[in-house]
Each structure stands twice: as C-alpha cells, then as structure tokens.
A and B are shown apart, each in its own frame.
Chain A
Amino acid sequence: MQELVLIQPIRAAEEQWSREAAHAAKRREFEERLAECGPLAYRVARGVLRNDADAEDVAQEALLRAYRRFDRLRDAQRFRGWLVRIVFRLALDRARSAKRREVRETEWAQPARRPAPATAEELAASSEFQARFDRALDELPEKLRLVLLLAAMEGHTLEEVAAMLGLPVGTVKSRLFAGRKKLAEKLQCYVTSTKKR
C-alpha cells in the first residue's frame, strides 16, 4: 500500500514562506557585510599566506563560516572582529601545512645567486629582501603579527584595530611597537650592508 503523510499544506506553505523570507533577509544582510568586510578577510589571509589562491580559499571558508553563524554575528563590529580572528587562525593553519610541504620540496633545491642590490630602495624591492622580510614576519608571535597587518592596512586607525580585536588601544600600540622593533632587529643586516656601500 502506498504510504501517505498527513500535512497541512497552507500552514506548511506559510512556514516555508516565512523561512524563505527570513533566509533571503539574512542573505541580503550578509551580502552587505560581505561587501564591507570581504576585502579585509582576503587581505588578512593574503598577509599570512602570501599566495593569492590560498588566500582566496581561506577567506572564502571564513566568510562561509561567518554566514552559518550570522544570527549570532549581526552586530557589525562583532562580525569584523570575529571574521579577522577566524581568517587569521585558518590562514595560520594553512600556512603551517604549506610550510611542511615547502620544506620537503626545497630540501634539494639550490638557492639562485643574484647580484647584490646597490641602494635601499632596490634592496626593499629585491626578492631576497622580500623573502627575508616574509620570513621575519612569519617568525613573529601571532598576536604581534595580526596587529602589524591590521594596522598597516589603509584606513585602519589604532582605535579601529583595538575595537576589532577587543583590546585596549594601549595594548595595540605596545604590540605594534614591539612587532616593528623585532622586525627591524631581524632585518638589521640589510641596514649595515647598505650603509657600507
């Protein structure tokens, strides 16, 4: 015998309408937030990963997670803070696994020898400096790295960074100073090399 199910089509239809309407409203609101915070998510991921494709994947994953939890993240400031932290965390995880792969792949590779740059500008633009800079940044503690990246993004004041991370402005300032100082120490050899020229 065919199995039948008792339903109330009108009520079910109304419930489905209201569900769909709520879903559409949520999606619209999320898209507004996406336009506002999508670039931020991408840049944080790109700042950690230095790879466009990986950064896109990670930022997208974080935004999807944000969408799934959007009911609890409707407040704009809360959304930005949560998004920044989750993107950073996901990007670090991705970077760690990529690093393990990179170590395996470069064990046999020989470093390419290039002529040394003559000026500070050339030095800053050189791939050797970039690589050293990236390595120095990656070696920084995570809490310093995130503050450095967010503060270096155009349009972010220290107050905004502090609000995003839920930290006092003084803490952001001290982390910013400590991070820049550590970077400068790690790259000190470049200053002496240009100075000698």
Chain B
Amino acid sequence: MLCDKYQEALIVAAASGAALDSSAGEHVSLCAHCQEMLAAQQSMFALVDAGLRTRANVTVPGNFGHRVRAAVQTETPQERRRSSPAWALGSLAAAAALLVAILLAQSLGHGGKDTARSVAAESKLQRSALPPVRIDNATNLGPNPPRALYSHGTAWRTSRLRETSLHRKVEPEVLVPRGQEELLVKYMQGIAGRKARVTLSAGLQQESEMKPVEVPSIEISELVVTPLPDLSSN
C-alpha cells in the first residue's frame, strides 16, 4: 500500500518537526489517512516531550545544597586518607621501616622495654629525615653514658635535657606523652598565630630506678622549655 511507504517519513517528520520531502508531502496533501497519521504522530511526540520535560525539570529541594554541604563537612581527613592508595602505601612503608628499626635495635643487643624500643625507633626515623643538630658543651646529665644508638633513655637524657646552642636553624623537637601530640600542635598554632615569645613548662615522668636529672633552661630558637618546679624533688 502506498501509505505504508511513507509511514517512516511521517514519523521522522513528526519527531524532528522538519518538513516532509516533496514526494511524501505531495502524498500527504492528497491522503486523509496520512494527514491523520501525521497529526497523531505529532501529538504523540509532543506528549512524549512534555512528559520528558516534566520528569527532567523537577524543582530541587531548597535544603538539598545544605544537606550536601553538611555531609561534606563531616568528611574527616582520616576518612579521605583511608581511601587513598598512596596513603596506604605510605603507611605500609612506614610500618616496614619501623619493623626494621626495631629488629636492628634488638640485633645490637640493646636492652630496654618495648615501649622504649618503639619510641627509639620512632625517634631514629624522625632523625633520619632531619639535619643533624650540633650540640656544644655536651655534658652527661644521667647516670649512664650516652650511646651511639638512640634509645628512649639516651635520647631523653642526652639530647633533650641539656643546654644546647643551635648553630643552624633547626626545628625544635619535643617529647610529649603519646596521644597528646595533637594538643601540642594546636597549642603551637595558637602561639604562632599570636607571634609571641612564650615559655613552655615541661613535666617529665621518669622511671623509678632513674635518678632525677638537673634540667636547665633550654633555648631552642624562640622556644624556651623550663622544668616544672617539683621535678627535682621526685
């Protein structure tokens, strides 16, 4: 049938809104059935487009942006780091280095407690990333002589608690109770924000078998660490 021949052309014309080609146009102008068909297809596509527009252009709820912003605010740096493979690799490397340092300390026959070993390893790791500190007037302040390898005790007695003069610009290092590093960092942020010279008082807990040490004031760049008054009475 001739009308079937033009059916596809009618659908294309109805969908695109374009004019029919000459032969199809001539046929439609003479065929009432095809005119009706074209009109039906045009209304059909209009219906489809209206349905699509309705579905695609919904009003966004007013609080949607706030909800997403609030969700973003609760995204903590730890959560983001956890998802990063680079961070995972870094953690693995750090853990491996820590393990090697502990094994090295054990193989050298260095006694001490586990906690001291881990801190020693940590301090060694941190030291390796820093320029060496030149220390003048080194005096042995503890009962034991300082050793070449850092342990908790030696690092504690020889490097931290003695008067030092820094001939280079070196960042000061501070021993703080585990878990309180963040607090000190926050505190330092506050200090730097005020750009003021401040004095920190350091309270140190010692092992019972260790003798108390004389701790003079230490001036590290602009940071002065002073012992608590009751430290020497322990």
> Are A52 and B61 interface neighbours, CB within 8 A?
yes
CB of A63, distance to nearest CB on chain B (Å): 5
Chain A residues 1-44 with CB under 8 Å of chain B are 1-13, 16-17, 19, 23, 27, 30-31, 34-35, 38-39, 42-43
Known contacts A6-B123, A59-B64, A180-B15; A64/B55 CB under 8 A: no
Question: Which B residues are CB-close (under 8 A) to A167?
Answer: none
Question: Which A residues are CB-close (under 8 A) to B56?
Answer: 43, 47, 149-150, 152-153
> Are B58 and A63 interface neighbours, CB within 8 A?
no
- The segment from A74-82, A90-98, A103-111, A184-192 that touches chain B is A184-192
> Are A152 and B61 interface neighbours, CB within 8 A?
no
Write out, one digit per residue, whether chain A residues 156-185 have a CB within 8 A of any chain B CB (1) or not (0). Answer: 000000000000000000000100110110
Residues of A within 8 A of B (CB): 1-13, 16-17, 19, 23, 27, 30-31, 34-35, 38-39, 42-43, 46-47, 50, 52, 56, 59-60, 63-64, 67-68, 120, 123-124, 129-130, 133-134, 137, 148-154, 177, 180-181, 183-184, 187-188, 190-192, 194-195
> Are A43 and B72 interface neighbours, CB within 8 A?
no
Q: Contacts A30-B72, A148-B52 known; list 7 others, CB within 8 Å.
A: A13-B189, A39-B60, A46-B55, A68-B83, A133-B55, A149-B56, A190-B44
5 interchain pairs, CB-CB under 8 A: A5-B181, A9-B184, A38-B64, A133-B51, A177-B15
- The segment from B92-100, B140-148, B171-179 that touches chain A is B171-179
CB of B116, distance to nearest CB on chain A (Å): 8
Question: Which B residues are CB-close (under 8 A) to A191?
Answer: 40-41, 43-44, 47
> Are A8 and B173 interface neighbours, CB within 8 A?
yes
In the complex, how many residues of chain B place their beta carbon closer than 8 angstroms to a beta carbon of chain A? 65
Known contacts A52-B61, A68-B80; A5/B44 CB under 8 A: no
Contacting residue for B48 out of A11, A12, A187, CB 8 A: A187
Question: Which B residues are CB-close (under 8 A) to A38?
Answer: 60, 64-65, 68
Known contacts A5-B176, A64-B68, A68-B75; A184/B43 CB under 8 A: no
B30 within 8 A of A: no
> Are A13 and B48 interface neighbours, CB within 8 A?
no
- Chain B CB within 10 A, most for which of A8, A120, A123, A129: A8
Per the bound structure, the CA–CA distance linking A5 and B174 in Å amounts to 8
> Are A137 and B188 interface neighbours, CB within 8 A?
no
> Are A1 and B115 interface neighbours, CB within 8 A?
yes
Contacting residue for A60 out of B71, B83, B156, CB 8 A: B71
Chain B residues 15-47 with CB under 8 Å of chain A are 15-16, 36, 40-41, 43-45, 47
Per the bound structure, the CA–CA distance linking A35 and B126 in Å amounts to 43
B205 within 8 A of A: yes
Per the bound structure, the CA–CA distance linking A39 and B22 in Å amounts to 45
Question: Which B residues are CB-close (under 8 A) to A27?
Answer: 72
* Residue in chain B with minimal CB distance to A186: B48
B229 within 8 A of A: no
Question: Which B residues are CB-close (under 8 A) to A195?
Answer: 36, 40
> Are B184 and A7 interface neighbours, CB within 8 A?
yes
> Are A9 and B58 interface neighbours, CB within 8 A?
no
> Are B175 and A8 interface neighbours, CB within 8 A?
no
Known contacts A35-B65, A63-B68; A47/B55 CB under 8 A: yes
> Are A120 and B43 interface neighbours, CB within 8 A?
yes
Per the bound structure, the CA–CA distance linking A16 and B71 in Å amounts to 22
> Are A9 and B51 interface neighbours, CB within 8 A?
no
> Are B51 and A181 interface neighbours, CB within 8 A?
no
B49 within 8 A of A: yes
CB of A24, distance to nearest CB on chain B (Å): 11
